[in-house]
Structure 1
Amino acid sequence: MRVTIADVARRAGVSKATVSRVLNGKADVDADTAQRIREVIAETGYVPSSRAVGLARGRTRTVGMLVPSLTWPWIGDVLQGVVDVLEADGYGVLLYTCTRGEESLRRFADQVSGSAFDGLLVIEPENTLDYIAELHRKGLPVVLIDDRGHHVEFPSVATTNRDGGASAARHLAALGRRRPAVVTGHLRFGCVRDRSVGFAEAAEAAGLHMDPQLVVEGDFTEESGRAAVHRLLAAGTSFDSVFAHNDLSAAGVLRALRETGRRVPEDVAVIGFDDIPLASHTEPGLTTVRQPMREMGEAAAGLLLSHLQGVPMSPTPFVLPTTLVVRGSAPMP
């Protein structure tokens, strides 16, 4: 049977509150009584709950993390980075998703009301910004990961989306491609706008022809990449390369090109964005812009822990660089 704080209190002849004060280093307990309690703890082998001790000290040593869904292919890497940093410092993680919409958010709000965690890491779910902002204003430390909307009021960790888009354009230009098509994500996302601007600026500088008819808005799914290619081909618009704003839609592009008899990379070169595990298993392997997702999770957790230890958080985003990973869908010449 596990020894409880009630067992210690009974053997020491004191209240549970007195035992708790000794455990938390309070100075308002008589020295002899405190010594007797410590001796009972040693004799019984009592191990206090870290959560109970944390609550008594005004801290749970737990961090909340709110994400849209666990089905996003890069969420796992972010989570691993977060967990690696938090667990190394003795913190736990409470993970919440918004897969059930309002119901999920209500359950999350219950945990916030119960002070279940000391701070919050967020990959912003749809329609939650106002609520998260209110939590931040009320004093809950919040760090955004992959700030898709450029919310300057929050501390955040991001990556160089603009430079990543530019590196894709420069690579296609180096391959001699002249008419790139672009499959974007939802244009309301800041990362999509940044990737689009970076690609367009570098393409123009390299003399690539940016035909507005070759830019198709997608939704980051494989099917949207597939549909974009079929739409462009049905319109009779010629293109010799495709930059897709994520690897899932790039996989859909590869699938559509196979279905229509186009060879990759001979007829059409393809570049994605993210470098999720799928990218190295497509046929051919996908050239892509790598986002350092695990490192972003590590950095966000580190920022939050530093704040909990008294270091003020800066509203200036902490930005990590992207890198181009070259594979068979757009190999070096």
Structure 2
Amino acid sequence: MRLVPVTIADVAARAGVSKTTVSRVLNGKGELDSATAARIRDLIAEMGYVPSARAVGLARGRTRIVAMLLPSLNWPWMGEVLQGVVEVVESQGYGLLVFTCTRGDESLRHFASQVSAQSFDGLVVIEPDGTLDYIATLHEQGLPVVLIDDRGHSPRFPSVRSTNHDGARAAAGHLLELGRRRPLIIAGDERFGCVRERLAGFAEAYARAGLTLDAALRLDGDFTYESGRLAARRALEHGLEFDAVFAHNDVMAVAAMQVLRGAGRRIPEDVAVIGFDDLPLAAQADPPLTAVRQPVREMGAAAARALLAHLAGTPLPETPAILPATLTVRASTTG
């Protein structure tokens, strides 16, 4: 039994022709004697040669592979957005290459080498820190790019984003309906546009209700569990008075809930808690977490659809695709 796959060189050797001639038969290119072409096709069938999609694609000027560039696979919602991309890409017969920047410049050099080698037809990207100008340059040089904009950048090329401002405003509105007037905010890094949008939307709702948020009740985190835990502990140790928590992601919200419950605070009776993203973690928390749902899987799917439509001949959209964030109410606010 032959365990080594049949190659184009094997077919060429059996047929007594060059690999280029076999390639022409596979791709329908060039003038070939009909008897020779028929003999080569018969040998391909007899030997069980299966040309790789990549080899055929390259011969036709297209790989039928798209790439995705990510900061890391460890971000809490990355699996959801990646799944959205995968479902669309696979359904249309494309392959997917995933690149991360976990090794910094070394990772970027490897990615750049694959761009130079034209290893893929287009790119879906969640921007690794400091790469937005580089990605924009790739787009300007002819690489089709769609950004999943999780940071509020509004780039110079096609993007898909969510309504961070409106989602945070909905969270504030829910707390106001519950009579919560002193929310503790555990924010993300304000250098990200999405964080500034969430802060602004939340404050807007309170301002419309005639209330000014206490600046002392804003503590900064970095979207990690540890930063949520430390923020909640700091609030308790400093004796801050608050009747709600709005955390800028689910991970920090769950961490805060655990600290508060450990300190004897009842949720939601004493403190109502809202997160952001609405990952599976939110529904599994104790109590289940009310959260602003950021449609990250749908964002991934929308970015992939736009990119593949472009590769099929449809121009990339000139304006961002905006998917609404919505509030999912659970027991961490309503009991």
TM above 0.5, one fold? yes
1:42 and 2:45 aligned: yes
| Mapped pair 1:331 → 2:334 | yes
Partner of 1:262: 265
| Match for residue 8 of structure 1 among 11, 20, 29 | 11
Write the letter of the residue equivalent to 2:139. H
Counterpart of 2:302 in 1: which secondary structure?
helix
Once the two structures are superposed, the pairs formed by residues 230-309 of structure 1 within 5 Å of their partners are 230-309=233-312
What secondary structure does 2:99 align onto?
strand
Identify the match of residue 124 of structure 1 among 122, 127, 148.
127
Corresponding residue of 1:172: 175
Per-residue deviation at 1:144?
0.8
Aligned counterparts of 2:224 and 2:196: Cα–Cα separation in 1:
17
- How far apart in 2 are the matches of 1:228 and 1:154? 37
Is the 1:144–1:300 Cα contact (8 Å) retained in structure 2?
yes
Shift of 1:135: 1.4
Select the residue among 96, 101, 122 that pairs with 1:98. 101
Q: Aligned residue for 1:229?
A: 232
TM-score by length of 1: 0.94
Look up the equivalent residue of 2:247 and give its one-letter code: A
Say whether residues 1:18 and 2:10 are aligned partners.
no
Q: Offset of 1:289 from its aligned partner?
A: 0.7
Q: 2:313 aligns with which of 292, 310, 317?
A: 310
Deviation at 1:208, TM superposition (A): 4.0
* Residue in 2 that maps onto 1:159: 162
Q: Does 1:190 align with 2:190?
A: no
Post-superposition offset of 1:4: 2.1
Which amino acid in the other structure matches residue 191 of structure 1? C
2:313 matched to 1:320? Answer: no
In 2: Cα distance, 1:162 partner to 1:101 partner: 31
The answer to whether residue 113 in structure 2 is matched with residue 85 in structure 1 is no
Report the counterpart of residue 112 of structure 2 in structure 1: 109
- Of 208, 212, 216 in structure 2, the residue corresponding to residue 205 of structure 1 is 208
- Tell whether the 8 Å contact from 1:152 to 1:315 is kept in structure 2 after alignment: no
Map Cα deviations across residues 57-88 of structure 1 (whole Å, 9 max, x no partner). Answer: 11111111111111111111111111111111
**Structure 2 residues not aligned, in runs of 5+:** none
Q: Which residue of 1 aligns with 2:36?
A: 33
- Give identity over the alignment, percent: 65
The structural deviation recorded for 1:56 is 0.8
Which runs of 5 or more structure 1 residues have no equivalent in the other structure? Answer: none
C-alpha displacement at 1:27, in angstroms? 4.2
Whether contact under 8 Å (1:62, 1:92) holds in the other structure is yes
TM-score, length basis structure 2: 0.94
> Following TM superposition, by how much is the alpha carbon of 1:120 offset from its aligned partner in structure 2, in angstroms?
1.0
Count matched residues. Answer: 332
Instruction: Assess if the C-alpha contact under 8 Å between 1:147 and 1:156 holds in 2.
Output: no
The amino acid that maps onto 1:106 is R
Task: Please say which of residues 153-162 and 140-149 is displaced more in the overlay.
Answer: 140-149
Deviations 1:11-63 (A, max 9, x none): 33321101111211214333333233223223333211111001111111111
